Every structure is written in C-alpha cells, then in structure tokens.
Amino acid sequence: MKNFCIFAEYYTKYMNVHNIATGVMRALACLVFMVCSLIFCGSNRVCAQAERPSHENTTYCYDFESDGFYFRVLNDQCVAVTAERITKDEKGLRTYYNVLLQQQLTVPGTVAHADTIYKVVAVDQGAFAGLALTDVELPPSVLTIGSEAFAGCHSLVKVSLPDKLQAIGDSAFANCSSLAAIRFPKGVEHIGRYAFAGCAKLQKLSIEKGNTHFAVKGGAIYDASLRVLLSSPAAKGTVAVPGDVEKIGEGAFAGCAALQSVALPQSVKEIGEGAFRNSGLRNISLPRGLTTVAPYTFANTRLSGLVLPMGIVEIEQSAFEGSTIGSISLPNSLLRIGEHAFRKTFLKSVGFPDALSDIGMGAFENCPLYAISFGNGLVSIGPRAFQDAPVVQLELPAKLMYIGEDAFAGCSRLLDIHMLATTPPMIEQNNFATNAYFGIKEGYEITLHVPQNAATAYKAAPGWKNFQTLLQSER
C-alpha cells in the first residue's frame, strides 16, 4: 500500500492523467491521494506536500545530496531523485547540478541519510532535463518518471525502464533527439502528453506482454483498443492513420520535423491539443466529424492552406499560431475564434461566416491581411485581434457591440471604416492609430462612414467622436 501512496502522489501532483477527463474525476483522484496519504503514508511524511523553496524563476528541489545525486524526501521510507535546482524561463526548463554526472547514469535503488535507508521510488519533475546523458539505467524500485524528467537530453541514446514503472509524465523524454528505442514494461498505466515529442529517431517501440493499457503498431503508441493514437514520435513523409482510429492524442505528432502529409480517416472525431505542433506538416485533410480545432493543433507547422469542414464550431487558442498557412476556408458552423488562433501566420485575406460571434484577443495579430470580410453575426472583437494588419478599409457589421484595446492598432494603411451598427459599439483605447482612441498621425486621416440618422450618436460616443471626418452613409 505504501507503493500505492507514492504512486497516487505523483499521479495527481505531476501528471496530466490521460484517464481523468472531467473535473469530477480529477477531484476524485485528489481525494484518493489525500486518503491514502493519511492512512498509509502516516504522519512522518517529511516534505511530500511541502512547497519547494523558490527564488524568482528558480526552484530548489532537494532535501539532501549523496554520491552526486540529489534527493527529495517523500515519507519516512521513500525519496525521489531530483535536481539541485530548476529554472523555468522563456527558454524552457533547465536543470542544474553542482556535481558532475557521468554520461552513463545509473540511479541507485536505495540511499542512506541521517540513519535512514530510503527507497528511490520516483524520478522527479525535471530531474535530469537538458543534461548531456547518453545512457540511463533506473532501479527496479522506480514507479514514476515525472514531467520533463529527461526533456532536452539530446545525447540520450538508451534508457532502461524499470519493470515496476507505472507512469511516465508529460514531456518526460521530449526532444531526446538521439533516443532510438524504448520498451514499456507491462505495469505502465499512464503515458503523458508530449512524452516523446521531438524524438525523431525513436523508431523501435515495444511493450512487454501483459500490458492492458497500451499497444504498439507501425512505430506508434495507441491505447489498448487501438482507437486512440497517442504518439508517433518518428513519423515522417506521408502517414496514413488506420481507419478505426477515433482520436489523435495530444501532441501525437508534435515535433515530427520530417512529417509532410497526414491522411486521416473519417472515423476520427477528435484531434487533441498540440497534435501536430512544431512538426513539418504541409498537407492534411480534416474529417467531417470534428467540432473544434484544439489549442496549438497546427502551431508552427508548414501548412500552406486548409479547408475546415462543416461542423467545426470553435478554433481554440493558438491553433495555427506561427504556422506558414496562407489561406483558410472557414465553415458556416463556426461560432468562435480563440485568442492568438492565427497570430503570426501568412494569411493575406479572410472571410468570416455569419454565425461567428466572437474573435478572440490577438487572433490575427501580425498577419499580412489586406482584405477582411466580417459576417453579419459578429458581436465582439478582442484586444489586438487585427493589430498591424495592412488592411485599407473595413466594414464592421450591425450587431457588433465591442472592440477591444489595440484591436486595429498599427493598421497604418487604413483609410475608410464603414459602420453598419446604428448604436456605436463600445470601443477601448488605442484603436486604428498610435495613441488613445483615434489619435491620428499628423497629415493622416481615417474617414468614418456611419448609417443615416446615426451621426449624432457616433459624434457623442467615446472613441468614435475623435474621428476628424465622419460621413453618413447612403446604405
């Protein structure tokens, strides 16, 4: 039961658990963890629930050091091998050691400290991230490998997973670009998101007989039913997903730089967050059963264009951010576009369906948009939504109620704005110009066209009244 206690702790604290899909189940998992902690771990747990001391972006991880390794005490019998300190910044997670580790790393199964012999049951979050390791051997006692534990170990070629291992955390081996083979023991129940993203050489995948949670087929990891494709780290060229797959898992093809084209069957109803993120994907046809484009799905890919099928109602956060996409066909079913959805892409024109009501913050920021056609149902345009677009004229629809701060800031080529709303929408500062509201550069002027009988309202409305030229439209 002590093993279960340790596993529950790591399962809830460090993992984004694949099987826990709802808030209710997450709460239940936390309850299980607390109960087992109180009943089975006892009152002598030294620091498993304590906050790690930190300074700015640096977390100091360990309780004691022994023979070049750092350890964090979990209870009176168990420890996790960890780092001396970890820094998280814009460059990602970095691990620091005050001692020089060998390239061939063998983690001990037990360690003595202060008259106590502890069992090493876990590799902590970020424990060896970014180190120049080539070969890692973990002891049989290890039950969990934490998130980003070996992330960015570019020289890592071989790692031996212990027979009792139960969980591998998010991004645990992400960007281990030299890793060539992994064998999963039969006890593994959880493989986290992006666990092997960016492992382009990881072509030899196998699972010990008796594992009831996962299957390996054609160099990819699936759930046991073969209906969820969880990871295909070495995918390249053209990939045809099997016809019985219903879901592409989170980060399934993330970091596959040599990937060019993916053929998805109509059976696929869901594509998880970041499924193709940072890959070389150029071409894909989406199945009709999708309802959302998840966050970061196509971020930083090499797509040139895409037709979104009817039935999609939402494009979520950063779905295409940083990609090379130059054209997009949006379905009439689309209701919402999330923040940064197309930020820093190559889109030159976009037409929105009438059903669309909300465009999120920074959705098309820094895009070379020369033409924008808004649908009749648009209600809200978020902050920085079209910042720096080289658009020349705009026609804003009759139902529009809100324009966020900087939504059109930096649109230096804009000459005409045609308003269809008789009631002036609420508008935040720094739109269409360089200073508050519509402070126009000297010698530069935007003409505002408003509906008949609406001029008085616009001339009195905050922001709109700052226009130097306001004309009543004959429409």
Mean per-residue pLDDT for 170-193?
96
CA distance 475 to 470: 15
Whether the predicted pLDDT of 53 surpasses 90: no
Q: What is the pLDDT of residues 115-141, one digit of tens each?
A: 999 999 999 988 998 889 999 999 999
- Please tell me the predicted confidence (pLDDT) of residue 468: 82
Residue type, 467: F
Mean per-residue pLDDT for 384-399?
95
Sorted by sequence, the CB contacts under 8 Å of residue 125 that are 6+ apart come out as 14, 82, 86, 146, 147, 148, 149, 169
Whether the predicted pLDDT of 170 surpasses 80: yes
Domain assignment present for 204 = no
Domain assignment present for 27 = yes
Residue 11 confidence class, pLDDT cut points 50, 70, 90 = very low
Buried b (16+ CB within 10 A) or exposed e, 381-411: bbbbbbbbbebeebebbebbeebbebbbbbb
Total domains, the chain: 1
Total length of the chain = 475
Greater pLDDT, 8 or 414: 414
Q: Domain range for residue 35?
A: 2-41
Whether the predicted pLDDT of 445 surpasses 80: no
Whether the predicted pLDDT of 328 surpasses 60: yes
Domain assignment present for 31 = yes
Distances (CA, A) of 15 to 12, 30, 171, 193, 437: 6, 12, 10, 9, 46
Residue 166 confidence class, pLDDT cut points 50, 70, 90 = very high
Domain assignment present for 272 = no
> Using an 8 Å Cβ cutoff, are 227 and 246 in contact?
yes
Q: Indicate the pairing of strand 416-419 with strand 393-396.
A: parallel
CA distance 349 to 314: 19
**DSSP bridge pairs for 144:** 122, 167
| Torsion sign, CA atoms 346, 297, 269, 313 | negative
Domain assignment present for 11 = yes
Q: What is the pLDDT of residues 335-358, one digit of tens each?
A: 999 999 999 999 999 999 999 999
Mean per-residue pLDDT for 395-423?
94
CA distance 126 to 201: 22
> Using an 8 Å Cβ cutoff, are 154 and 175 in contact?
yes
Whether the predicted pLDDT of 188 surpasses 80: yes
CA distance 266 to 284: 13
Domain assignment present for 414 = no
Buried b (16+ CB within 10 A) or exposed e, 53-82: eeeeeebebbbeeeeebbbbbbbebbbbbb
- Please tell me the predicted confidence (pLDDT) of residue 443: 37
| pLDDT cut 90: percent of the chain above it | 71
Mean per-residue pLDDT for 244-259?
96
- Please tell me the predicted confidence (pLDDT) of residue 412: 86
Apex CA 200: angle with CA 315 and CA 86, to 5°? 80
- Please tell me the predicted confidence (pLDDT) of residue 94: 57
> Using an 8 Å Cβ cutoff, are 11 and 33 in contact?
yes
Domain assignment present for 20 = yes
Domain assignment present for 17 = yes
CA distance 422 to 400: 10
Place of tokens 């959302």: 292
- Please tell me the predicted confidence (pLDDT) of residue 467: 86
**DSSP bridge pairs for 222:** 215, 229
- 49's torsion region: left (phi>0), alpha (psi -120 to 50) or beta? alpha
Q: Cα-flanking dihedrals φ and ψ of residue 315, to 5°?
A: -105, 115
Mean per-residue pLDDT for 241-245?
96
- Tell me the pLDDT of the chain averaged across its residues: 85
Residue 6 confidence class, pLDDT cut points 50, 70, 90 = very low
Whether the predicted pLDDT of 210 surpasses 70: yes
CA distance 130 to 155: 9
Q: In 3D, which of 71, 6, 77 has the Cα closest to residue 36?
A: 6
Mean per-residue pLDDT for 146-170?
94
